[in-house]
Amino acid sequence: MQQIISFDHFNALKDAEAHARIRAAKEKLGKRVVLLVHHYQRADVYQHLDLTGDSLKLSRLAGETDAEYIVFCGVHFMAEVADILSKPNQIAILPDLAAGCSMADMANLAKVERCWRELREVLGTPDEQVTPVTYINSAADLKAFCGEHGGIVCTSSNAPKILEWSFAQREKILFFPDQHLGRWSGYKMGIPLEDMMVWDPDQPYGGLTHEQIKKAKMLLWKGHCAVHQMFQPSHIANWRKANPDGMVISHPESAFEVCQASDYVGSTEYIIKVVKEAAPNTKWLVGTELNLVNRLAEEVKHEGKLVQFMSPMVCMCSTMQRIDPQHLAWTLENLAAGKIVNHISVPAHEAALAKLSLERMLAVS
Contact residues for 289 (Cβ-Cβ < 8 A; gap 6+): 39, 40, 227, 268, 316, 317
CA distance 298 to 291: 11
225 is in an annotated binding site: yes
318 is in an annotated binding site: no
Residue 198 CA from chain centroid, whole number: 21
249 is in an annotated binding site: no
List 153's β-bridge partners, or say none: 134
Dump strand ranges (E) for the chain: 33-38, 51-53, 69-73, 91-93, 130-135, 152-154, 172-176, 196-199, 218-221, 247-250, 264-265, 283-287, 306-309, 343-344
CA dihedral sign, ordered 276, 278, 282, 288: negative
252 is in an annotated binding site: yes
108 is in an annotated binding site: no
As a whole number of angstroms, the longest Cα–Cα distance in the chain is 63
156 is in an annotated binding site: yes
CA dihedral sign, ordered 138, 139, 144, 149: negative
115 is in an annotated binding site: no
DSSP state for residue 3 in the 8-state scheme: P
Contact residues for 68 (Cβ-Cβ < 8 A; gap 6+): 32, 33, 89, 90, 91
350 is in an annotated binding site: no
268 is in an annotated binding site: yes
Phi, psi of 313, deg, nearest 5: -95, 140
222, amino acid identity: K
3-state secondary structure of 344: strand
Known binding-site residue numbers: 38, 55, 101, 135-137, 156, 225, 251-253, 268, 317
Known binding-site residue numbers for [4Fe-4S] cluster: 101, 225, 317
Known binding-site residue numbers for iminosuccinate: 38, 55, 135-137, 156, 251-253, 268
